[in-house]
Structure 1
Amino acid sequence: MDKKNALRAGAVAAGTTLMMLLMSSPALAVMRDDGDDPGPGLSAAETLGLFVAAPIGLFLIIAGLVMVLDKSDRPSGKRA
């Protein structure tokens, strides 16, 4: 990919992002809808646990299970 195409792709990505940010309307989030019943807010620790610690923990569990349950006979790092 040459420099001109990379510059064009970057400009398109930046323009698209800017347009999406400008067209979104976070001010409308202040107005409540009929039937809206939000629950209690999360504390900082609960938020970090839910959106940071839980995904990292799930990733580590899945990666560990894949490594433990891998039953290949070839030595690691060598291809057949």
Structure 2
Amino acid sequence: MTVALMWEAKAADGRGGELLDWARAQRLPMTPLRRETFRAPGDRVLVITWWEAAYDADVPELPAPDAGLVSRPVHRWRFEPVAD
């Protein structure tokens, strides 16, 4: 089974580039099957990691950055694939 973890943060004003650099520099103690990093208007950064694990498995997640780098708490979600 595969589980996808989504991590999304909104940078503090004018700090979008710093948040993106911070997210890209974060290393996890295990290597996911796949990891992608995205950015969006409004200085938002999204990181998705895919793991070969059950939905509720204990897999590494990106931490929250220092409070001064973000304008609100990090949002996190888990998803599991469904057949089409």
Normalising by structure 1, we get a TM-score of 0.20
The higher relative CO (CA closer than 8 Å, separation ≥ 6) is in 2
Q: Which has the larger radius of gyration?
A: 1
Task: Specify which structure has the higher proportion of helix.
Answer: 1
TM-score between the two structures when normalised by the length of structure 2: 0.20
Query: Which one has a larger percent strand, Structure 1 or Structure 2?
Result: 2
